[in-house]
Amino acid sequence: MVRYPLIRTILAGAVLAAGASLFSGCGGYEYAGPISLDRHPWLKGKKIFIDPGHGGAGGTDLFRQGPNGITEEEANLKVGVILEHMLKKTGATVAMTRTRDKDVPLDERISMAHEFGPDVLVSIHHNGSARRADGVNYPSVLIWGSREVKPESYDLASILLEEFHKIMDERGSVISDHAVFHETGTRILNRTSQLCPGVLGEGGFFSDEKHALRLADAQYLESEAGAYFTALSRYFQWGVPDAEVMFSCPMRRAGLLSNEISDTKPGITIRVMSGNEYPGIKEETLKVTLDGVSVGFKKIADDMFLLKYGDELYPGGHSIRFSFRNQRGQSSMILRAPFTVSIGAGDRDRLVAEGRRLVGRKKTARKGLHMLLSALSMSQTDPEAGKIVSPIVSGFRAIGDTASASYYEQALVHFYPDSVEAKKIRTRVLGRSGCRFPGDFNGRIVKIKADKAVSDKERNTPGNAFQRIKKFFNGHKPGQAQ
């Protein structure tokens, strides 16, 4: 069904003659749709990166040509230019990868995104099918990886899909871009996955005869741009959660190791920001790991949580990784705070020996696991790294984390194929799962703050670490540089 009468249709001849130039830039275009652009104050100041997909090849790429002369790059650009105009009217800051029908290489688009530093990235596309005779048509929204590694992108994708369904009768779904590009996903979402939330919208099939008529209608193009606009508005209104991490000890920022501390018993606090008018978060949704091992936390203020990582931190590289949802149920990105505990002579060998002993007992397995992971961070390429990875597998099994145990078992086989330990289990592991190369997702690095002067007395006195962290944060606004 063509919902929008062609009272404002761009005639096919004019489309072919003028192409995307009718919409190149906002100077000659004014949005005339039903959305009141002055009623979205939460968009003001937001940085939004718009990527109208493809470009410059519509005349030669037969696959991207649809019925009646429509091309995907033309439709992508027109929707993008309308959306750019709408967002700028609200006070948002917008960057476009292209404003005319030209090819912009993917690597250049990715560099533009990183230089711009957006709050969100939207790549605008329309789908095509070799099954054109079947009239294939539906909307879809792609995210990189999975819902588990990009929960914030899944939230935005779900909202955008709802808006697509309001202007199309056909039903679609949110899918991983790995369903299409199995090894890496889409490059634009892959290479910006640690930068910001990102989605790739497929607003129906340009290859479908009925939908091609819609895409040649200016009123429909405004409605599709309106779907993107409304989705972005709802997303920012509900809030994009963020956080920062604070250490109650001095931290060395430069030198051989980044974020280096010498204190093995610091107070480490996560300060959460809801991104909306409702302070705090849904505490039950806060999930925190240290080097992939789940750790507890203590709430010390509405927006502050002190990590309970155990007796001490061990020498080596570490990563705190966490995520949560705000009171409106919107997800943060997967966030992380990398740091290093100073390494001394013999630390690695000591941790390996003690860690192997402790993981053998259920009561001490968690402590031994932290030791072994610290040791592995110092020697990933060591010829005997397999001797560390193998007991790590046992340690995760001992604490009941079968998913991580399976990951490290796969890592042992794939990352260290020449090790004695890998050869012992290779046939069994590959026989069970085949070539399933293990991959991990680090997440986006958060702002890390550190106290510059903490006395030994303050550091070691119970309770004082909590008070000092509160005092520190009371004097530093969220996002303020240290």
Q: Are residues 375 and 452 in the same domain?
A: yes
Indicate if the pLDDT at residue 415 is higher than 50: yes
Predicted local confidence at residue 292, as pLDDT:
96
Reduced DSSP (H G I as helix, E B as strand, rest coil) percent helix, strand, coil of the chain, to 5? 40, 20, 40
How far is 479 from 272, CA to CA, in rounded Å? 11
Q: Are residues 309 and 203 in the same domain?
A: no
pLDDT tens-digit readout, 69-81: 899 999 999 999 9
The dihedral formed by the CA atoms of 326, 330, 336 and 337, expressed in degrees to the nearest 10: -30
How far is 371 from 365, CA to CA, in rounded Å? 10
Q: Are residues 34 and 144 in the same domain?
A: yes
Q: Determine which of 28-42, 196-210, 395-409 has the lowest per-residue pLDDT on average.
A: 28-42
Predicted local confidence at residue 268, as pLDDT:
97
Q: Are residues 415 and 267 in the same domain?
A: yes
Q: Determine which of 77-86, 257-266, 288-297, 327-336 has the lowest per-residue pLDDT on average.
A: 257-266
Q: Is residue 370 in some structural domain?
A: yes
Q: Are residues 71 and 220 in the same domain?
A: yes
Q: Are residues 294 and 215 in the same domain?
A: no
Q: Is residue 479 in some structural domain?
A: no
How far is 234 from 371, CA to CA, in rounded Å? 45
Domain that holds residue 47: 6-238
Greatest mean pLDDT among 51-65, 142-156, 461-475: 142-156
CATH of the domain at 324: 2.60.40.1220
Q: Is residue 123 in some structural domain?
A: yes
Q: Are residues 215 and 254 in the same domain?
A: no
Predicted local confidence at residue 467, as pLDDT:
58
Q: Is residue 75 in some structural domain?
A: yes
pLDDT tens-digit readout, 170-215: 999 999 999 999 989 999 999 999 999 999 999 999 999 999 999 9
Counting residues of the chain whose pLDDT is more than 70, the rounded percentage is: 87
Indicate if the pLDDT at residue 476 is higher than 50: no
Confidence class for position 130, pLDDT limits 50, 70, 90: confident
Q: Is residue 167 in some structural domain?
A: yes
Largest CA distance in the chain: 81
Q: Is residue 449 in some structural domain?
A: yes
Indicate if the pLDDT at residue 131 is higher than 90: no
Predicted local confidence at residue 135, as pLDDT:
86
Indicate if the pLDDT at residue 60 is higher than 80: no
In angstroms, the Cα distances linking 129 to 62, 110, 140, 208, 277 are 12, 26, 13, 8, 44
- Residue that is last in its domain, among 223, 238, 253: 238
Q: Are residues 246 and 234 in the same domain?
A: no
Average pLDDT value for residue range 347-367: 96
CATH of the domain at 120: 3.40.630.40
- Residue that is last in its domain, among 210, 238, 266: 238
Cβ atoms of residues 372 and 357 within 8 Å: no
Q: Are residues 75 and 168 in the same domain?
A: yes
Q: Is residue 480 in some structural domain?
A: no
How far is 222 from 86, CA to CA, in rounded Å? 10
Confidence class for position 141, pLDDT limits 50, 70, 90: very high
In the chain, the number of structural domains is 2
Cβ atoms of residues 203 and 141 within 8 Å: no
pTM assigned to the model:
0.87
Indicate if the pLDDT at residue 456 is higher than 50: no
Average pLDDT value for residue range 363-370: 97
Q: Is residue 406 in some structural domain?
A: yes
Average pLDDT value for residue range 59-64: 71
Q: Of 32 and 283, which is predicted with more confidence?
A: 283
Average pLDDT value for residue range 152-156: 98
Indicate if the pLDDT at residue 479 is higher than 70: no
pLDDT tens-digit readout, 328-355: 999 999 999 999 999 999 999 999 999 9
pLDDT tens-digit readout, 459-468: 445 455 555 5
What are the tokens at 14?
């004019």
| Summary mean pLDDT of the chain | 88
Q: Are residues 456 and 432 in the same domain?
A: yes
How far is 251 from 259, CA to CA, in rounded Å? 6
Q: Are residues 283 and 325 in the same domain?
A: yes
- Residue that is last in its domain, among 203, 238, 273: 238
Greatest mean pLDDT among 133-142, 254-263, 334-343: 334-343
Q: Are residues 126 and 156 in the same domain?
A: yes
Q: Determine which of 4-13, 279-288, 369-378 has the lowest per-residue pLDDT on average.
A: 4-13
